[in-house]
């Protein structure tokens, strides 16, 4: 009991601590690819600290929704991250929710974020909200299907089960093609969900091109800090999903301290690797027009669908 509580706690802490680092890493990579030295990978931590200290400016138009949203967003994202196996394949509270629950928890955050965007009454917030809505609605089906594709191999949508079985390669049925397709699909989904290029540009300062940034335009101080942190956490969450679902090797399958330590290291390596990849992609591609995004996500959807179909085809 105590042990599982500890594990949960450590998992939360790890996630919280690592997430800003990932953001910093991506920025660093991009800077390097643009032949800049760029800020240190720890810069996000300083930013967060600073933002927490600053006092906040709240629009007179806003309601309690606006002030509550950061906390709700943070809480929901953190809850989601507790359901995902990070360095231990069997999360103690895995019964509390499967991957669908994770998706919907993140959706909860998005929902309130959209509301908050509308709350201030500025056109930018509304614009960001509506674009976030469309992007989210386009990513969702692809996401569910790709998860199904993977879940089918383990015969369950319980993340821990999937990861555990895949890690031990025991009583699972798997073939490379569906996995690969699902992986690509989920990767695109990740880019879209976490607001990266080519769907959205987190570094932009031109309001009209913003999606996520436009939504949080009115936030400042600790609210902004919480929102930023939450989105960093979300990014980490997706990277973890990608790495642990498709390549869970090295993750601790037993709750042994040594194994878990190893698991943490391996996990860090994996997510950093993915972060680098994202950085590279971001500097290679330009941001797409909003209505071109559909094509990209369409590709993702088709891929995931093919993944499911292939899974069955190869079974018969």
Partner 1 sequence: MGAVGGVVVGAMGLAAESPYVFSLPSTLPLLRYAIRLDPLSAFFVLVISLVGVAVSVFALGYVREFYGRHSIGALGALYNAFLLSMTLVVLADDGFFFLVVWEIMSLVSYFLVVTEHEKAEVRYAGFFYLIMTHVGTAFVIVAYLVFYQQAGSFSFEAFRNPSEPLPQGLRSVVFVASLIGFGTKAGIVPLHVWLPYAHPAAPSHVSALMSGVMIKTAIYGMVRVYFDFLGGEFPWWWGFVILTVGAVSALLGVMYALMEHDLKSLLAYHSVENIGIILMGIGAGMIFQSYGLTQLAALGLLAGLYHTINHAMFKGLLFLGAGSLLYATHTRNMEEYGGLIRKMPWTAFFFLVGAVSIAALPPSNGFVSEWLTFQSLFLSFQIPDLLVKMMLPIGAAMLALTGVLALACFAKAFGISFLAMPRSAHARNAREVPPAMRVGMAGLAIICVLLGVAPMVVVPAIDRVTAPLIGVSIADKVLAEGGLALMPMGVGSASISTSVLGILLTLLVPVAWLMAVVIGGKLRKRFYRTWGCGITLKPRMEYTATGFAQPIKQVFSTIYRPTVKLETDLLEESRYFAKRMHFETHIEPVFQKYLYDPVVRSLNAVADRLRVVQTGSLQLYLSYIFVTLLILLLWVR
Instruction: Please identify, using beta-carbon distances, which residue of 3 and 291 lies nearer to partner 1.
Output: 291
Contact call for residue 129 and partner 1 (CB under 8 A): yes
User: Rounded CA gap, 41 and 26, in Å?
Assistant: 8
For residue 88, give the DSSP letter.
B
User: Residue 112 in contact with residue 72, Cβ under 8 Å?
Assistant: yes
Residues 42-61 close enough to bind partner 1 by CB under 8 A: 49, 52-61
In the complex, least distance from residue 1 CB atom to partner 1, rounded to whole angstroms = 14
Question: Residue 121: how many CB atoms within 10 A of its CB?
Answer: 12
**In this structure, are residues 162 and 150 in contact, taking their beta carbons and an 8 Å threshold?**
yes
Residue 211: closest CA among 113, 98, 66? 113
Q: Does 63 bind partner 1 (CB under 8 A)?
A: yes
DSSP 151-203: HHHHTS--HHHHHHHHHHT-S----HHHHHHHHHHHHHHHHHHTT-TTT--TT
Q: Does 308 contact partner 1 by CB under 8 A?
A: yes
Q: Which is nearer to partner 1, 194 or 272 (CB)?
A: 194
The distance of closest approach from Cβ of residue 29 to partner 1 in the complex, given in angstroms and rounded to an integer, is 28
Coil/strand/helix, residue 252: strand
Specify the stretch interacting with partner 1 by CB under 8 A; choose among 24-32, 38-46, 120-128, 187-195: 120-128
Give min distance, CB of 165 to partner 1, in A. 9
Q: Within positions 138 to 197, which residues make up the interface with partner 1, using CB under 8 A? A: 138, 140-145, 148, 151-152, 155-158, 161
Among 6, 9, 123, 169, binds partner 1 (CB under 8 A): 123
> Total binding residues for partner 1 by CB under 8 A?
88
Fill in the DSSP letter of residue 289: P
Cis peptide before 198 (omega within 30 of 0): yes
Residue 31 CB, nearest approach to partner 1 (Å) = 27
Instruction: Name the residue nearer to partner 1 (CB basis): 182 or 271.
Output: 182
Q: Which of 127, 232, 233, 235 binds partner 1 (CB under 8 A)?
A: 127
For partner 1, the binding residues in 225-244 under the rule CB under 8 A are: 225-226
């Amino acid at each position: 009991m105590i042990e599982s509580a500890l594990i949960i706690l450590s998992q939360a802490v790890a996630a919280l601590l690592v997430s800003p680092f990932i953001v910093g890493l991506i920025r660093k990579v991009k800077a390097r690819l643009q032949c800049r030295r760029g800020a240190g990978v720890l810069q996000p931590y300083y930013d967060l600290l600073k933002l927490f200290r600053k006092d906040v400016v709240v629009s007179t138009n806003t309601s309690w929704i606006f002030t509550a949203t950061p906390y709700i967003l943070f809480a929901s994202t953190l809850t989601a991250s507790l359901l995902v196996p990070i360095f231990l394949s069997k999360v103690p509270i895995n019964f509390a929710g499967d991957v669908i629950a994770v998706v919907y928890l993140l959706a909860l955050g998005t929902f309130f974020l959209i509301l908050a965007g509308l709350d201030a009454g500025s056109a930018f917030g509304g614009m960001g909200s509506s674009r976030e809505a469309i992007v989210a609605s386009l990513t969702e089906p692809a996401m569910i299907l790709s998860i199904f594709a993977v879940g089918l191999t383990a015969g369950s949508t319980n993340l821990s089960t999937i990861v555990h079985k895949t890690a031990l390669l025991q009583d699972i049925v798997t073939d490379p093609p569906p996995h690969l397709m699902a992986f690509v699909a989920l990767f695109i989904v990740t880019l879209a969900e976490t607001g990266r290029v080519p769907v959205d540009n987190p570094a932009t300062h031109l309001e009209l091109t913003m999606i996520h940034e436009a939504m949080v335009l009115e936030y400042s101080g600790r609210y902004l800090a919480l929102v930023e942190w939450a989105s960093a956490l979300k990014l980490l969450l997706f990277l973890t999903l990608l790495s642990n679902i498709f390549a869970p090797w090295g993750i601790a399958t037993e709750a042994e301290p040594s194994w878990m330590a190893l698991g943490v290291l391996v996990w860090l390596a994996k997510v950093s690797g993915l972060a680098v990849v994202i950085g590279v992609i971001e500097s290679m591609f330009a941001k797409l027009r909003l209505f071109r995004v559909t094509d990209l996500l369409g590709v993702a959807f088709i891929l995931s669908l093919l993944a499911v179909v292939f899974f069955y085809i190869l079974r018969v």
